[in-house]
Structure 1
């Protein structure tokens, strides 16, 4: 056996066991291959045979063994190259992040262009810094700066940031009262689940598209639901319409669902939530139920909104239901299914605020 441990069987076995142990723990494929080279070396294989086994050239295998003999396992640690000098300074890179995040191309001289592309960013860098860079170089910089090519989302322009921050403070105070003065903290909302909702990407044969049949109608199932922030419980009802009478009936049902303890329900400013019809009921139950309204135009602060997106992506998108009753059945199956794992609901919907 041609290695430095040939004359000491005990030491050799210790090294082999050490390598086997660390190979089980590592998740780095390249490091695993380096450990494997040394393991086969310690087991007596020649450099030529090891090179064939691990698909490396003999010179590389020799370097690994040499480094291991000199420094042990530390000699196998990969050294990361610092790479070529950066063409842009940190301040210039910060300007890229600032401009891409807060401006559109037409605001900085690219007429009739609203969306940033790598080529437009490259042209902006050339124009602003007088530094020529390749398409690939810009791509690498954007990736390193944690910028990505993503689809924007719409937000309501009228949202009042100050009121949103005030609500967040209120919400933090409410959370501290759970299991004390406050027994249940609920988020409420309504949603229309249509018989066909949307198309989303899915795996299919290359060059072809999956075809989803539809009647081209706009019928749907009207839902009113709550998300229990503390327990992860979801409760939904189906109704034929949305009005104050239906909403009052729903609130009565919630009191039945939670027969004891103070309830705070967070909800948006829909007209039915402010109806005068509700005033006698709310006054009668003021010690049991309190409504806390979100700031106007702030759906992202209503955690149950995430439930509707989850539901649609699971059972509606890319699906076809021949009747509304089938949609209703699918919705209830989904609600029943996720209520079996409330911790998943909490992790998915309740932790983000």
Structure 2
């Protein structure tokens, strides 16, 4: 999530381009999430760069919520298949298994729909003035989606990700 991303809509006089005032400050926060076909969502918002260390921290938190093996669909981002990640996964093979999507196929990744929803849902009336406020707003939106399992289940209704419902590898 970036402070300077365009969110929402506005209006302007016919024939005139509307001007939306911004602070000029540029800052961002990162987020990752895992969703299930049952409508559960787990997430983590962080300010550091997404790397293997952050990914393993998220995976450790994720498997800590379950008493059975978690199956997670991931893209082929370098942190997902780095040597450190493979070592961590080997040490936790009884708790989690990653299923890799084909290269260059974001339309097959259900979590991309979460990202799109999050960016679309950011309220354009509230402008975060700093990184901490942006992180708080991002967490608030994720918490709202956690309380709306019908919306999370709805991400799997799009034609490109329906394959998950047939195979159901990550039913947490």
Corresponding pairs, count: 157
Confirm whether residue 312 of structure 1 aligns to residue 122 of structure 2.
no
1:234-313 matches, within 5 Å, as: 234-239=41-46, 240-258=48-66, 260-313=67-120
Shift of 1:316: 5.5
Q: For the pair shown, which has the larger CA radius of gyration, 1 or 2?
A: 1
Map of 1:331 onto structure 2: 138
Q: Tell me the TM-score normalized by structure 2.
A: 0.81
Asked whether the equivalents of residues 27 and 130 of structure 2 are also in contact (C-alpha less than 8 Å), the reply is no
Shift of 1:219: 1.8
Change (3 A) 1:199 1:244: closer
Shift of 1:312: 1.1
Q: Tell me the TM-score normalized by structure 1.
A: 0.41
Q: Which stretches in structure 1 are left out of the alignment for 5+ residues?
A: 1-192
Which of the pair has the greater relative contact order for Cα pairs under 8 Å at 6+ separation?
2
**Matched residue SS, 2:56:** helix
**Matched residue SS, 1:290:** strand
Asked whether the equivalents of residues 196 and 320 of structure 1 are also in contact (C-alpha less than 8 Å), the reply is no
**Matched residue SS, 1:266:** strand
Map of 1:71 onto structure 2: none
Asked whether the equivalents of residues 212 and 319 of structure 1 are also in contact (C-alpha less than 8 Å), the reply is no
Residues of 2 paired with 1:315 and 1:351: CA distance? Answer: 22
Q: Alpha-carbon deviations, 1:142-200, whole Å to 9, x = none?
A: xxxxxxxxxxxxxxxxxxxxxxxxxxxxxxxxxxxxxxxxxxxxxxxxxxx00121155
**Matched residue SS, 1:286:** coil
Shift of 1:284: 2.1
Residues of 2 paired with 1:236 and 1:287: CA distance? Answer: 22
Q: Which has the higher helix share?
A: 1
Q: Alpha-carbon deviations, 1:244-288, whole Å to 9, x = none?
A: 111111111111122x11211100111111111123321122122
Q: Which stretches in structure 2 are left out of the alignment for 5+ residues?
A: 163-172
**Matched residue SS, 2:43:** strand
Asked whether the equivalents of residues 198 and 316 of structure 1 are also in contact (C-alpha less than 8 Å), the reply is no
Shift of 1:334: 1.0
Asked whether the equivalents of residues 268 and 294 of structure 1 are also in contact (C-alpha less than 8 Å), the reply is yes
Residues of 2 paired with 1:245 and 1:327: CA distance? Answer: 23
Residues of 1 paired with 2:144 and 2:82: CA distance? Answer: 34
Confirm whether residue 219 of structure 1 aligns to residue 27 of structure 2.
yes
**Matched residue SS, 1:226:** strand
